[in-house]
Amino acid sequence: MSIIVLLGAPGAGKGTQAPTLANHLDVPVLASGDLLRAAVAAGTPLGLEADRYMSRGQLIPDDTIVKIFLDQLRSRARNGAVLDGFPRTRAQAEALDRALAEHGDKVDRALYIAVPLDDLVVRMASRRICEANGHVYNVATNPPQTPNQCDIDGSPLIQRPDDEEATVRARMAQQVPPLEDVAEHYRSAGILRTVEGRQSIEGVSGDLIAALEDGAPA
């Protein structure tokens, strides 16, 4: 069982890096944002609730996300998983610890992709994701081979509604402080590693994989 938590501010590169780490470890990616966007698109009760928070750049309530995310973890993470976007608050991190401890498991590594906030606002303006599966592109730094079409599944590329600049700034203001609490939670457990996010996508991947294997205390 290998549970890896990927941390970073909105736009730091979690969704870009999670599949590479998951392939390396041969485990699935569980991405809270993708889960919520699918619920919004399907118009489920969860989607309707989540949309109210996501469109304002706010975190959705801990009770709601903890329940759905831990259900996914139980059903899909038999040999481990890379967690993208969960936990986002100290309460979520503690709920995850408790759920894993029930089966004698724990978070093995928390990997923090560090990027200054001003760089992130710029990145998000040029981000595109694919409609079918949320694969991540950037028209400036990481374009698809065919314009507006996903290299992996061929679906059209779209802009996320929460990537509008005012919403991005709200996400930063409201979500970075609790993210720091989560980082501290893992730092005090000795399992946090921080990686420089202002380098090529391949450079970040290499550092993340090296940090996975670095057994030294943080």
Report the catalytic residues.
14, 88, 127, 160, 171
Nearer to ligand AP5, 79 or 141 (CB): 141
C-alpha–C-alpha distance, residues 36 and 209, integer Å: 27
Q: Which stretch binds Mg ion (CB under 5 A): 10-18, 48-56, 112-120, 138-146?
A: 10-18
Does 15 help bind Mg ion (rule: CB under 5 A)? yes
In the sheet where 192-196 sits, what is the strand order?
A: 29-31, 80-84, 2-7, 109-114, 192-196
Question: Is 161 within 8 Å of 55 (Cβ atoms)?
Answer: yes
Tell me the HSE value of 49 on the side-chain side, using a 13 A CA sphere.
11
Which residue, 179 or 215, is less far from ligand AP5 as judged by CB? 179
**Angle in degrees, CA 136, 137, 139, rounded to 5:** 160
Nearest to 4 by CA among 208, 215, 172, 150: 208
Cα–Cα distance measured from residue 73 to residue 75, given in angstroms and rounded to the nearest whole number: 6
Residues 157, 158, 159: CA angle, nearest 5 degrees: 140
Residue 141: contacted member of ligand AP5, Mg ion, none (CB under 5 to 8 Å, by partner type) = ligand AP5
Say if residues 176 and 117 touch (Cβ distance below 8 Å). Answer: yes
Nearer to Mg ion, 15 or 80 (CB): 15
Stretch that binds Mg ion, among 13-21, 67-75, 108-116, 145-153 (CB under 5 A): 13-21
C-beta closer to ligand AP5: residue 13 or 80: 13
Q: Which one of Mg ion, ligand AP5, none interacts with residue 185, CB within 5 to 8 A by kind?
A: none
Least Å from the CB of residue 28 to Mg ion: 15
Interaction site with ligand AP5 (CB under 6 A): 8, 10-16, 32-33, 36, 53-54, 57-60, 65, 85-86, 88, 92, 123, 127, 136-138, 141-142, 162, 171, 197, 200-201, 204
Name the minimum Å distance from CB 31 to Mg ion.
6
Instruction: Tell me which of ligand AP5, Mg ion, none is bound by residue 27, counting a contact when its beta carbon lies within the kind-specific cut-off of 5 to 8 angstroms.
Output: none
Residues near Mg ion (CB under 5 A): 15
